[in-house]
Amino acid sequence: MARDNALDSPARRGRAQPKQSRDRFGRFTEWIARAMGTPTFLALLTLFCVAWIAWNSLMPAGVRFDEVSNGFTALTLVLSLQASYAAPLILLAQNRQDDRDRVQIEQDRQRAERNLADTEYLAREVVALRMAMTDLVEQSLSRDVLRQELRTLLAELDDRAALEPGERPATDGGAAKKESR
């Protein structure tokens, strides 16, 4: 028992088909435009025209289908028809390429904006790190100065403790005086 709406088969929607056929036609126009812009195409078209002219000039009159006396009217018609179809197909291919280029330019612009924002963010972070490092160095220097001061004070306290109980160390560069009670 096969069901059309089974879970293992894709859902069918009528809207997907026109887009696919438009895309297929667009790819076809691009293929034509690429093919017509090649030296191979020009060589084949030249060979076609030479063969046409040679057939209608050199073959017996009963097998000719385009008379020289009429100026190869059928050849002119075929080449005009080819040109009248080639021009719009090439334009369609160019329009598709323009659309792709427009999308690519928009994506490049968005990527450039993101890169700029990232660069600005990183620049701010670098400045913040520099400031933090400067503060850290200043704090380190002030810590070193503070440590040195504390060491000096500790040394003075050690000197005081080493003195006799009644003596006081000189702070003004003079001799130590005895404390009077």
Summarize pLDDT for 107-157 with one digit per residue, the tens: 999 999 999 999 999 999 999 988 888 877 777 777 777 788 889 998 988
Q: What is the pLDDT of residues 144-167, one digit of tens each?
A: 777 888 899 989 888 888 876 666
Q: Which residues touch 86 (CB under 8 Å, ≥6 apart)?
A: 32, 36
Entry pTM? 0.48
Average pLDDT over residues 13-38: 75
Q: What are phi and psi of 170, to 5 degrees?
A: -80, 135
* More reliable by pLDDT, 173 or 33: 33
